[in-house]
A and B are shown apart, each in its own frame.
Chain A
Amino acid sequence: MVSSSLRIHELCKHYGDFVALAPTSLDVAKGEFLTLLGPSGSGKTTMLSLIAGLAHPDAGRILIDDTDVTHSPAYARDIGVVFQNYALFPHMTIEDNIAFPLKMRKVADAEARRRTAEALETVHLPHVAKRYPRELSGGQQQRIALARCIVYRPAIILMDEPLGALDKKLRDQMQLEIKRIHRELGTTIVYVTHDQEEAMTMSDRICLMNAGAIEQLGTPQDLYFRPRSVFVADFLGESNLLSATVRGVDGQGLDIVLTAQAAASRAVGNGSRFAAGEPIKVMVRPQNLVVAEAGGGQLSGRIMDVMISGSLTRLYIAPETAGLPQLVAAHPTRSGSAPYEIGQRLSLGWHAADAVAIHDGGI
């Protein structure tokens, strides 16, 4: 089982005056599945190209297993790349495509044939060996691209939105397949997507990028439940964000006052330091917003809209207190319960442990 660690140190890249990647450092452990997540143009592809050696950094270093490869050419890095558009060679059969990296490594013919067949087995497509790439469907091409990458057991695999072009069902299937291959081979994988759900389900850690820099790096749970910034809270899943001020900080959490309501309540921190008097945002995820018949709870409001999306029921609620944004609450859909009515009054509340304090980034 080959697998390497990857270390990026103060790597940066400009295009003219434009900073595509601000000086960035990142460590990926051996065998880890790390996802680069971020909005379009945030520098994900730039980062991958630098790691793969397809673009040259302006400064910084890249180390694979503590060997400096910053200036090594792409062909010498032992990194596999699965390109967004697959980049299968149109003039070669599937077999030849997969055997190409083996040929480049001067693997003997018989051995190359054996490993090619094996790779085709792994992606469940042994019957397409003699075809040309254009004779395959998008999902099949995708799997061949994957096979071409795993056949030579690169120490690190980079994938740039490999599932971007597939429909929902095929995506789900391929996600499982990639996870399975990752488990079986134990290869280090750096994966790019801008689909937050995909990132959450697949990754050991997520590196959320914004405007050419890392916004937050951590496990999916970290990012989801303890976002360091309003941007992270907003980007990963739905969230309710309420303005508040810190009153005091103790071992268990924070005493806060909601700005709109002047009522004291509690919140938990997100791992960073808060000071008394500091303006913050309090984040409550929709599923943690508890709705009840009017009366009690921290707030009350009226239902503006109800959306039932299969497993979840979402309520969009306008608080009666002035100065609060529209809130969203979600709970599993129950059949046979009394239907909600637009305009109905409800009270809203949350557990202190579900209210997360975030530094106010001014959004």
Chain B
Amino acid sequence: MGAPLVLLLVLFLVYPVGQLLLLSVYGDNGFTLAPYRQLFASSVYLDVLLITLKISLATTLVCVVAGYPIAYLISVVGKERKATLLFWVLLSFWTSFLVRAFAWIVLLGRNGVINKTLISLGIISSPASLLYNFGSVLVGMVNALLPLAVLTMLSVMENIDRTLPRAAATLGARPGMAFWKIYFPLSLPGVAAAGIMVFVTAIGFFIVPALLGGRRETMITQLIIDQVQQTMNWGFAGAISVLLLVVVLVVFAAYDRLLGLSTMTGASAPRNAAPSRLSGPVQKAGDALLALLGAISDRILLLLPSRRRDRNPDQAGMGLQAFVWTMLLIISAPTILMIPLSFGTGGLNWPPQGFTLHWYETVLNSPLWTQAVLRSLLVGIGTGVLAMLIGTPAAFLLVRSEIPGKAAWLAFILSPIVVPRMIIAVGLFYVFAQMGLVGSAVGLVLGHTVVAVPYVVMTMMAVLRNYDTRLDHAAQSLGARPFATLRYVTFPILGAGMMSSFLFAFATSFDELTIALFATGGLNATLPKQFWDEVTLQVSPAIAAVSTCLFVFMGLLIFVAERLRRRAAAR
């Protein structure tokens, strides 16, 4: 049952990536190390690597630090408030990276909201240049990856037993101490998982630095794009890919040594988390540090007016809530501000003026855009169907039967998430060129399925684990034939879970740019590719119109998916 999945990954992940890596040492004239000599000949490329690491580290730090309170609040509030908070995080998570980056261009532009507001408040007299520097890249990167950090940490925090901090309180721990000595250590696996997920994703990013960064913020994946698109220097592109891959693998290896990879899925409940591998003195120092943090927090809390200290222990603090809502506002507002601008006659200048549907008409009348929408829908649905067809049986196999080396298989299936997307994309481009699949919908569906299928397998595994097989047996004992069992029992129960993994795969494809970047263009471009081509050419209100449409479309999709998920969970 797992054969199609293995075949898919071998043909369209292992083979292309292997090809690309091979190309770096095997040119037209046989074995060569020329690309590597070029790579290390000057400091140019190493500088880019350093910048990449610097931006990724900064992004990771900000995402984890800012995301922690958000995840914490979501994990402690009541059901309804939780749904609201989660909706905003998910909306941001699912809004295209492109749309969000574009929104920041507009927001930070010379005539954008921020400059205009600062000027009207009299804080500055002429527009400041807020774009194309380290700060703008960092803002864009954090906006892109903060939701990922929040969701990863949340999955661990939700499993922390709420009575533990309370128990600490009854044992004499003040709130600060209870947090730092009890809650925080238990949430660390989530922090670590979020850290590595954000870092690895950030290292392979190119949209944000390309749109919001200047020349000094070039990241390593952009170098690969240049090599492929401009000089067709496969050997050198391969060498840079090797460099990128090595960095990622080193990061994972370090992570594994320190914390163990099992914490990565975030699934391991803290209750059975392995005791930290940090031994002896390090552990002691960590303990002392946490105790110190606890003592300091409690000193600070003591300074607050006593009414605040005595507040109902069931309620989260006002400061925390204010912070979380501010962060959610910052990550959602740019996209929402696109909406009035897309109906305005004043271009992308703030404040919006007039009302026109002109930009929407422009988009609708452009065959480039309409073709792109159709193609993206087609490819998205194709990807959803194929990923389900291939991923579901594999999930069944992994959940229901005892196969040897399960952990290794799981790692293999998850590898498309670990390997930087850019490397997969370039490898696929090379292989597709040989097979004549470049620019074809089939090629895109195959490529997108490779990156979407791990999510499908993970979701379906979770769904199947919660499914009680005795229901099937009961149905059969009541006289239902296999097909009837499927139709009346299995599918109605699993249906919602299957639908949401389909939507997940669809959305992944619908928003995919890296693979589409090389494989498509012109009239066979997908929507993200068309968006990218336009936005790198010029920043026009038509793009704001497209952004608005995408935003609304994704909002609806999340709404539907959440509904389905909740219906599934309610059972």
Interface residues of A (CB under 8 A from B): 52-56, 71, 73-75, 77-81, 83, 85, 87, 89-91, 100-101, 103-105, 132, 134, 148, 152
Q: Is the CB of B173 within 8 A of A75?
A: yes
Q: Are A55 and B272 also in contact (CB < 8 A) when A73-B169, A79-B170, A87-B166 are?
A: no
Distance between Cα atoms of A88 and B186 in the complex (Å): 12
Question: Are A80 and B272 within 8 A (Cβ)?
Answer: no
- CA A34 to CA B163, docked complex, whole Å: 23
* 9 smallest beta-carbon distances between A and B, as pairs: A87-B167, A104-B172, A74-B169, A101-B171, A81-B170, A87-B163, A56-B312, A90-B271, A75-B169
Contact of A89 among B164, B169, B309, B314 (CB under 8 A): B164
CB A73 to nearest CB in B, in angstroms, measures 7
Tell whether B310 is near chain A: CB-to-CB under 8 Å: yes
| CB-based nearest A residue for B314 | A55
Among B172, B173, B313, the residue within 8 A (CB) of A56 is: B313
In angstroms, how far is the closest chain B Cβ from the Cβ of A18? 14
Residue pair B161, A85 in contact (C-beta under 8 Å): yes
Task: Select one of B166, B167, B172 contacting A105, CB under 8 A.
Answer: B172
Q: Is the CB of A75 within 8 A of B172?
A: yes
Q: Are B309 and A73 in contact (CB under 8 A)?
A: yes
The reply to whether A74 and B177 form a contact with Cβ atoms under 8 Å apart is no
Q: Give the chain A neighbours of B122 by CB distance below 8 A.
A: none
Query: How distant is B273 from chain A, measured CB to nearest CB, in Å?
Result: 7
Q: Which of A53, A55, A81, A91 makes the CB contact (< 8 A) with B186?
A: A91
Contact B174 A75 (CB under 8 A): yes
Could you tell me which residues of chain B, from 167 to 187, have a CB within 8 Å of some CB in chain A?
167-175, 177-178, 181-182, 185-186
Which listed residue (A71, A91, A148) contacts B171, Cβ 8 A?
Answer: A148
Instruction: Closest A residue to B271 by CB, please name it.
Output: A90
| A74 & B166 in contact (Cβ 8 Å cutoff) | yes
Give the distance in Å from the alpha carbon of A103 to the alpha carbon of B174 in the complex. 12
A216–B186 Cα distance when bound, in Å, is: 43
Q: A54-B170, A104-B173 are in contact. Are A91 and B310 (CB under 8 A)?
A: no
Q: In the bound complex, do residue B312 and residue A90 qualify as a contact, i.e. CB atoms below 8 Å apart?
A: no
| B447 at interface, CB cutoff 8 A | no
Check: B281 CB closer than 8 A to any chain A CB. no
Contact status B275-A55, CB under 8 Å: no
Residues of A within 8 A of B528 (CB): none
Q: Which residue of B lies closest to A105 (CB)?
A: B172
Kindly identify which residue among B181, B271, B313 contacts A53, using a CB–CB cutoff of 8 Å: B313
Cα A34 to Cα B275 with chains together (Å): 39
Closest chain-B Cβ to A187's Cβ sits at a distance in Å of: 14
- Cβ of A104 to closest chain B Cβ, rounded Å: 4
Is B270 an interface residue when CB atoms closer than 8 A count as contact? yes
Contact at B310–A87, with CB atoms within 8 Å? no
Closest chain A CB from B91 CB (angstroms): 29
Contact A73 B313 (CB under 8 A): yes
- Provide the bound-state CA to CA distance between A120 and B285, in Å: 27
Q: Which residues of B contact A152 (CB under 8 A)?
A: 171-172
Decide: A83 near B313, CB < 8 A? Known: A75-B170, A104-B173: no
Say whether B168 contacts A100, CB under 8 Å: yes
Q: Given contacts A85-B161, A90-B273, A91-B273, is CB(A100)–CB(B186) below 8 Å?
A: no
Contacts of B164 in A (CB 8 A): 87, 89-90
Which applies to chain A's interface (DSSP): helix, strand, loop or mixed?
loop
| Minimum CB distance partner of B269 in chain A | A90
- In this complex, which of B169, B174, B273, B276 has the most chain A Cβ atoms within 10 angstroms of its Cβ? B169
How many Å from the CB of A224 to the closest CB on chain B? 33
State the CA gap A132–B255 with chains docked (Å): 24
Per-residue 0/1 for B127-170: is the Cβ within 8 Å of any A Cβ (1 yes, 0 no)? 00000000000000000000000000000000001011011111
Distance, CA A314 to CA B507, complexed state (A): 67
A81 touches B167 (CB 8 A): yes
Residues of B within 8 A of A53 (CB): 169-170, 313
A contact residues around B178 at 8 Å (CB): 75
Instruction: Check if B309 sits within 8 Å of A91, measured CB to CB.
Output: no
A104→B171 contact, CB < 8 A: yes
Q: Give the chain A neighbours of B271 by CB distance below 8 A.
A: 90, 134
With a cutoff of 8 Å between Cβ atoms, the chain A residues found around residue B314 in the complex are: 55-56
Q: Who on chain A is nearest to B167 by CB?
A: A87
Look across to chain B and name the residue whose beta carbon is closest to the beta carbon of A71. B310
Contact of A74 among B170, B186, B275 (CB under 8 A): B170
Q: What is the minimal beta-carbon distance from B303 to any residue of chain A, in angstroms?
A: 16
B181 — which chain A residues lie within 8 A by C-beta? 100
Which of chain B's residues has its CB closest to A84's CB?
B163
Cα A152 to Cα B177 in complex, Å, equals 18
Nearest B residue (CB) for A100: B171
Q: Are B275 and A87 in contact (CB under 8 A)?
A: no
In the bound complex, CA of A329 to CA of B182 (Å): 55
Task: Tell me the bound Cα distance from A104 to B165 in angstroms.
Answer: 13
Contacting residues, chain B, for A148 (C-beta < 8 A): 171
Query: When the two chains form their complex, are residues B310 and A83 in contact, meaning their CB atoms are under 8 A apart?
Result: no
**Closest residue on chain A to residue B171 by CB atoms:** A101
B397 CB to nearest chain A CB (Å): 30
**A160 (CB) vs chain B CBs: closest residue:** B163
6 further A-B contacts with Cβ under 8 Å, apart from A52-B170, A100-B173, are A55-B313, A77-B170, A78-B172, A83-B166, A87-B163, A104-B177
8 pairs, CB–CB < 8 Å, chain A vs chain B? A53-B313, A54-B166, A56-B314, A74-B169, A74-B313, A89-B164, A90-B186, A104-B171
In the assembled complex, which residues on chain A have CB atoms less than 8 Å from the CB atom of B273?
90-91
Q: Could you tell me the distance between the alpha carbons of A185 and B309 in the complex, rounded to whole angstroms?
A: 33
Cα(A78)–Cα(B169), bound, Å: 10
Give, as a whole number of angstroms, the nearest-CB distance from A127 to chain B: 19
Q: Which residues of A contact B177 (CB under 8 A)?
A: 104
Check B170 against A80 for contact (C-beta < 8 Å): yes
Least Cβ–Cβ distance between A92 and chain B, in angstroms: 9
Question: In angstroms, how far is the closest chain B Cβ from the Cβ of A235?
Answer: 28
Expressed in whole angstroms, the Cα–Cα distance for A241 and B181 within the complex equals 56
Alpha-carbon gap, A100 to B291, bound state (A):
11
Residue of A79, A80, A90, A103 with most chain B CB atoms under a 10 A cut-off: A90
Return the contact of B272 from the options A52, A78, A134 (Cβ within 8 A).
A134
Say how far B36's CB is from chain A's closest CB, in angstroms: 45
Q: Could you tell me the distance between the alpha carbons of A105 and B173 in the complex, rounded to whole angstroms?
A: 8
Q: Which residues of A contact B172 (CB under 8 A)?
A: 75, 78, 101, 104-105, 152
Contact with A along B244-270 (1 / 0, CB 8 A): 000000000000000000000000001
In Å, the complex CA distance between A73 and B166 comes to 11
Beta-carbon contact of B312 and A91 below 8 Å: no
Chain B residues with Cβ below 8 Å from A101 are 171-172
A73 and B310 contact, Cβ closer than 8 Å, known pairs A53-B169, A54-B170: yes
Contact indicator B169/A91 (Cβ below 8 Å): no
Q: How far is the CA of A231 from the CA of B175 in the complex (A)?
A: 42
B426 to chain A, nearest CB (A): 43
Instruction: Write out the residue numbers on chain B whose beta carbons fall within 8 Å of the beta carbon of A105.
Output: 172
Q: Would B310 and A132 count as touching, CB distance under 8 A?
A: no
**CB nearest neighbor in A for B274:** A132
Which chain A residues border B170 with CB–CB below 8 Å? 52-54, 74-75, 77, 79-81
Report the minimum CB–CB distance from A315 to chain B (whole Å): 40
Contacts of B309 in A (CB 8 A): 73
Which of A71, A89, A100, A134 has most B Cβ within 10 Å? A89
**Closest chain A CB from B81 CB (angstroms):** 15
Which residues of chain B (472-518) have a CB below 8 Å from chain A? Answer: none
Once bound together, how far apart are the Cα atoms of A154 and B314, in whole Å?
Answer: 24
Which A residues lie within 8 Å of B291 (CB)? 103
| Interface positions of B from 184 to 205, Cβ below 8 Å from A | 185-186
